[in-house]
Amino acid sequence: MDSNLLWYSYNGNSDAKCDNRYDQNILQLYYLLKLFHVDPNRPFNVEPRNLELDKVLNYCNKRLTFESKGDEAEVLKLLIEMIYSFFPDLRKVSPSPLVLDKDVAQFPIMNGGSTSPKFVSHLIQKAIEDGMEDGKLGHLAGRLYLLALKKQSNPVHELNSAVACALLSSKNSHPPCLTYSVLCSDPLVLLKCELIIWKHRGLREIVLTVLLNLLDLNEVEVLARATTSSDVKNELILSRDALVVRCLLTLQSGVSEIFQNGASGNYIMRDKKTLALLRSLVTRRRGLTPLVVKQGLPELSLNYLIEFVPETFMDADILLLKLQEKILSPVERLCVADAALRIAIKYGVRNEEKAQQLAFAAISVMVNSFYIALGPTGVSVNALREENSEIDVCQKCRHSLFRMIKAMQNIHGNRDGLKNECSLALSKLAGLCKQEGEVKVQQKRSTLQHIWDAITMSINAMGGRVQV
């Protein structure tokens, strides 16, 4: 390449002599990259990284704005694609504007190539670049993607790989170059798409459809590994699905604040397709609910999981075993107990015997954790913290304790066995509060009073009274 050429200075008005020199260097660079692609081990190859490719890309993009047609434009486009195929990271250095024909955008179904993978991916990219201010391009992309899936002429792997790369683009960067095999090996990369995509219904449906397809293929790939034991394979898949569930719960419950419709903390069913994927993952993956709960969820996310995913009761046996594990920390044990009790209350009518077993194990943990929630004796501040963390153990346990006591107010109907178990546990807590009633630390006295009031409200809601 000619080092005397000022690649950044091109403005469309250069003289013919200078243009010819640029053209010569463009052709030489294209043939060099083409040769490098055919046989990268040739002894006379030039390392492309040593060339000023970012400047060349800037020149090509500028020149395309003045010469969008003809043989010269075709060569420039071929060179740009060739450079990007070798070095996709350069897309962030010199992004080129995506040009979309307005007529095709307005009447896409009438156009013969409107459902091609390239067109659908470009439409998604354009919607993201425009910030989806009116939302029309996003809805259009969703419609065309569904039509493209139905067309037998569009291979699913080509369509989904092109669409997935487009979804991972942003206003400031072009799509990454990810093959379908790479996406199948790591489907979680799709969760890196910007939050604005999840906010838009059309693009969100595309993400969920592609994600489900990639998860299924990834499961087949993991299970087919001959060098890995079956337990390790199942654990890998379970951990993968747990991460997906946590992300979807964050979006659905309003924790991310992108789906908020007014009132704070108002968790409602916002997207049926997202909820369907959540329920599907919980149904087909035993042990997913205990794992997600043990890791800790924001309150809104846990509320949403228990309120709208009845399949969580299918993991009652595993929740019961999890509560009996000795390796759980106090915070983890109470988090699992909180979720287990609320699941037993919400869906226990399906199997009252199993629900009572689960509830009894949960409230036993609640009673045994009373002193941890209250805090260490003789200390006026919360002194217990997790190792290498600023999390206050006492405060976390106290929060779970109050949630469990309040959850007992939701026991309705003819469920005398469950009511009796809960009433006995609350009476034990009331007795512990009375024993600690002489404490002189004001903060603990206030905590004891709040616990007593919560116990009284729950027992009254169940039709009983406090018996110490």
For 199-221, the pLDDT digits (tens) are 888 889 999 999 999 999 999 99
For 225-235, the pLDDT digits (tens) are 877 788 899 99
Distance CA 161, CA 206 (A): 12
Segments in the chain below pLDDT 50: 8, 16-17, 92-113, 258-269
Predicted local distance difference test score (pLDDT) of residue 265: 45
Predicted local distance difference test score (pLDDT) of residue 47: 61
Residues in a beta bridge with 392: 385
Predicted local distance difference test score (pLDDT) of residue 191: 92
For 84-95, the pLDDT digits (tens) are 776 665 654 433
| Three-class SS state of 392 | strand
The C-alpha torsion from 303 through 304 and 306 to 310, rounded to 10°, is: 170
Cβ(125)–Cβ(176) below 8 Å? no
Instruction: Look up residue 95 and give its DSSP letter.
Output: P
Model pTM score: 0.70
Instruction: Taking each helix axis as running N to C, give the angle between helix 71-86 and helix 16-38, from 0 to 180 degrees, rounded to the nearest 10.
Output: 40
Task: Return the closest-CA partner of residue 191 out of 204, 178, 201, 179.
Answer: 204
